[in-house]
Amino acid sequence: MDIYHHINLWLQDEEKAFEEVFNFYYPRLYRYALRYLKNDFWAEELAMEVLGSVWEKKSFIRPETFENYLFTAARNRLINQWQRKIDGLLSLDALPAEGVAATNGVVAAACDPVISRELEVIYNDKLSELPPQRRLVFLLHRDEHLSYKEIAGKLDISPRTVENHIAAALKQLRVALMQYLTSVIL
């Protein structure tokens, strides 16, 4: 019997058929996730989450698009994980003065060394591309751990302007890093 027969049986409420579907797709989803996550545990988790979500949403699934649905769901979960990692990476508490590579494993735990180095290069490039005032405000807050009020006093600008500069810098850095990571996954 082919896998599509088991998918159809499962979608017609023969729950035992899902075991065959699971056994067929789990290794493929695991390998797909492992290619990007470089971590056995997280790849297993992702494969299980995707198959679990398919089980919960079976009423919305069509047999002819099942495989596409599975791998699109896996890709979306990978992108969401990267987004959370980038958000954690760009949190001002996690950013070290030395750059992305020294983030106590925040990125390194989820990336291979090549991706970590490329992220560091992109981060530093985008940081250098920030307008001078924005970069100065961002670095004063990140490197010297000055409060918004202290930066405002030092640069003779309002604390709200400091907040706007930091928010804009984080947004620009986040967009650049997500574009790169999304291109790696796609």
22-26, long-range: CB < 8 A, 24+ apart:
22/51, 25/51, 25/67, 25/70, 26/51
The verdict on 21 and 78 lying in the same domain is: yes
Please indicate, yes or no, if residue 173 is contained in any of the structural domains: yes
The verdict on 119 and 155 lying in the same domain is: yes
Do the beta carbons of residue 123 and residue 173 sit within 8 Å? yes
Where the chain has pLDDT below 50, the residues are 92-110
User: Looking at residue 185, what is its pLDDT?
Assistant: 65
With pLDDT > 90 as the criterion, what percentage of the chain qualifies? 36
CB atoms within 10 A of CB 91: 12
User: Looking at residue 62, what is its pLDDT?
Assistant: 87
CATH (domain of 123):
1.10.10.10
CB atoms within 10 A of CB 68: 10
User: Looking at residue 158, what is its pLDDT?
Assistant: 94
Query: How many Å apart are CA 48 and CA 36, to the nearest integer?
Result: 16
Number of domains present in the structure of the chain: 2
User: Looking at residue 106, what is its pLDDT?
Assistant: 38
The verdict on 25 and 59 lying in the same domain is: yes
| Domain extent for 15 | 3-88
Please indicate, yes or no, if residue 145 is contained in any of the structural domains: yes
